[in-house]
Amino acid sequence: MRSIRLANIAILASAFFGVLQASPHQLDTISYNFALANGGGGVAAKLDKSLNIEIFCVDFANDIMVPQNNYSANLTFLTTAGFNAATTRFGSNTNWRTVTIADDGTDGGSDDAADSAIINAANALGRYQMAAYLVSQYDRPAGNTATNNGIQTAIWEILDPSSYSLAPFSADPSAALEQAAVWYSTTSAAARDSYLSNYRIVSDSTMTACGPVLCGGFQEQITVVPEPKYAGLLVMGLFAVLSIRLRRVSTRTPATSLER
């Protein structure tokens, strides 16, 4: 009986994590506190009325209003096993704009073509992972600098479908593009999954099919969701379900049978 209970708990845990990933969440934007030169950057927001997060723009062709209440958002994992293309704007896209890294003067351009090829060969998950990695490289206290603007432009180039107009340039993205390509090509899938385990893609749940990408709704973002919050919710949920199951067993089964 114990093995059956444990199996049921494992199933419930999996289902609970699935709800956290797939169910629309409430997203409220609060303030535009990391403004960059050509738009983008970061916005302070609150998730499900309880969790303070920072969301970073990865979609230059759409807007997000700040402040704004009651956005309906999907949160999508950036890991190999957790990624769900259907809940993201670009997850099903296979026709990307070609990225060409220009020589930024630091290495003589000797590996620019190879680094460009790494980005251009990446699938949707790989591009989202490179974008999330670059989000982790922002120097937020520095604010509107050439480096931060270069990172934002690089993110927009990496996630730029051919159906979009050319990503706007606010600074030279070459250094950031090289950094993303080197990180992606020198790490294993497991290492990338581990590094980005708390990162999520924040997408409007009302987006509809629009060719190879989804369209409509607010601008797509990337965020870091603190793990303890969701771990706590999981424990509370499992405890409640287990308590109900045990109560049902105790009322239906004679006490002597439980002692055997």
Spell out the domain ranges in the chain: 2-225
Q: Do 184 and 133 meet the contact criterion of CB atoms below 8 Å apart? A: yes
Q: Do 169 and 38 meet the contact criterion of CB atoms below 8 Å apart? A: yes
Instruction: Reply yes or no on whether the pLDDT at 143 is more than 50.
Output: yes
Looking at residues 1-19, what average pLDDT do you find? 48
Mean pLDDT in the chain?
Answer: 85
Look at residue 16 in the predicted model and tell me its pLDDT.
44
Instruction: Reply yes or no on whether the pLDDT at 163 is more than 50.
Output: yes
Instruction: Reply yes or no on whether the pLDDT at 184 is more than 80.
Output: yes
| Residue 154: pLDDT band with limits 50, 70, 90 | very high
Residue type, 52: N
Tokens for 71, please give them: 């956005």
Looking at residues 166-191, what average pLDDT do you find? 96
**What is the CA 128 to chain-centroid distance, rounded?**
7
Look at residue 110 in the predicted model and tell me its pLDDT.
79
Q: Do 152 and 143 meet the contact criterion of CB atoms below 8 Å apart? A: no
Instruction: Reply yes or no on whether the pLDDT at 44 is more than 80.
Output: yes
Residue type, 165: S
Q: What is the pLDDT of residues 193-237, one digit of tens each?
A: 999 999 999 999 999 999 899 999 999 999 999 865 444 444 455
Tokens for 54, please give them: 């920072």
Q: Pick from 63, 42, 65: which is nearest to 149 by CA?
A: 42
Residue scoring higher pLDDT (110 or 13): 110
Q: Pick from 140, 139, 194, 184: which is nearest to 158 by CA?
A: 184
CB proximity list for 236: less than 8 A, separation 6 or greater: none
5-9, 26-30, 238-242, range with greatest mean pLDDT: 26-30
Instruction: Reply yes or no on whether the pLDDT at 166 is more than 70.
Output: yes
Instruction: Reply yes or no on whether the pLDDT at 139 is more than 50.
Output: yes
Look at residue 229 in the predicted model and tell me its pLDDT.
41
- The secondary structure element, H or E, covering residue 69 is strand 68-77
> 221-224 and 51-57: which strand pairing?
antiparallel
Q: Pick from 195, 205, 228, 224: which is nearest to 73 by CA?
A: 205
Tokens for 141, please give them: 């206290």
- The secondary structure element, H or E, covering residue 116 is helix 112-121
Q: Is 57 helix (H, G, I), strand (E, B) or coil?
A: strand
Look at residue 240 in the predicted model and tell me its pLDDT.
52
**What is the residue-wise DSSP string for 12-54?**
HHHHHHHHHHHS-EEEEEEEEEEE-BTB-EEEEEEETTTEEEE
d(CA 86, CA 137): 27
Looking at residues 140-169, what average pLDDT do you find? 97
